[in-house]
Amino acid sequence: MSPEFRMRLNEPSESTAGGVLVSVAVPCFNEEEVLRETHRKLIAVLERMPLRFEVLYVDDGSTDSSPDILRELAARDKRVRVIRFSRNFGHQMAITAGLEHAAGDAVVVIDADLQDPPEVIMEFVQKWMDGYDVAYGVRAERDGETAFKLWTAKLFYRCIDRLSDTRIPLDTGDFRLMDRRVVDALLSMPERDRFVRGMVSWLGFTQVAVPYRRAARTAGDSKYPLFKMLKFAADGIFSFSTVPLRLATWMGFLASGLAIFAILYSAYARLFGSGWVKGWTSTVIAILFLGGVQLVSLGFIGEYVGRIYGETKRRPLYVVRERMGFDLATKSGVHPIQPRSAVGGR
């Protein structure tokens, strides 16, 4: 155990009076089939730690019975807090809400589908006790996933690693533990197109990998179908790389070079060649090539301009419809709520 952690353990802050507090943020969307089992396993693991804990479920606009189950869990266990969004704002926004409402000295992010085993949280906490600011899970094995999903995930992580100026660990998700300093630094970044795992890497601090075996889904469907996966990949690339803009520039140079070569060749053939025939093939090829380059380049530029437009509107990242389990904590002085990105709620 590091001297810094020992000091923190022996001298708790005012916000965590009574000992060190670990918060567990659990984003969930339409997880009625697995929520109770997720909670049971989480509590079984967390109760083995010699630390205080709280569990924050963030309901990302579920349309099934998930809100009722979460309300039941909050009523039954005072360590449970629930934040309900007014609609579906997305997984990364749900993570942000969990971080903003968490009061712990450290915050763990874990999905509700039990693909990331709660038992790994113990290893995260041990790494934190050893002095690391971030402990992140690395998917050494992935059960129950199709060859297409495995191949595209592998391709995505390696592409963004090559394109990004920030070193983002391969085969990692959002399953991780972050020290309070890291959480506060992360929450100071107000961007809307959030790619949390990349943002945490950009922050630096001392980070350590924890390999684990990712389990197959026990129930329900994946919340990341192909379209959402593509959008998430685009967020990661365009948020952490200007390579597409450079690519557009080099494509422009390439097209210009080919055009100059074609002009010189045409002039030579017209002046010195025999049997010159005016045709449309070369013209059509040139138009299609240049048009394609221009459209691709405009698409890249449009992605960045669209993100600038989204940032200038300064809308909140999410809207809270309801909070559960916070009143008691706030009255006791343990859990002051100071979210910076939310609107509404009660």
Residue 176 has φ and ψ, to the nearest 5°, of: -170, 165
Q: Which residues of the chain have pLDDT under 70?
A: 1-18, 142-166, 216-253, 255-286, 288-289, 292, 295, 303, 306-307, 309-311, 313, 327-346
Helices (H), the chain: 3-10, 35-46, 66-76, 91-101, 120-129, 147-163, 180-187, 196-203, 226-240, 243-272, 281-313, 327-331
The domain at 3-241+315-337 falls in which architecture?
Alpha-Beta Complex (3.90)
pLDDT at 69: 93
Q: Give phi and psi for 54, each to the nearest 5.
A: -140, 150
The pLDDT tens digits of the residues spanning 219-275 come to 555 555 555 566 655 665 656 565 666 666 666 667 666 666 666 666 666 666 665
Amino acid at 322: E
Question: Can you tell me the distance from the alpha carbon of 145 to that of 235, in angstroms, rounded to the nearest whole number?
Answer: 23
Burial 282-316 (b: 16+ CB within 10 A, else e): eeeeeeeeeeebeeebeebeebeeebeeeeeeeee
Structure tokens at 268: 């030579």
Task: Using a cut of 0.85, tell me whether the model's pTM lies above it.
Answer: no
Residue 173, pLDDT score: 82
Question: What is each CA distance from 157 to 21, 167, 174, 241, in whole angstroms?
Answer: 33, 11, 13, 13
Q: Residue 210: which of 144, 153, 128 has the closest Cα? A: 128
Number of C-beta neighbours around residue 136 at 10 A = 23
Question: What is the crossing angle of helices 243-272 and 226-240, to 10°?
Answer: 90
CA separation for the pair 197, 224 (Å, rounded): 16
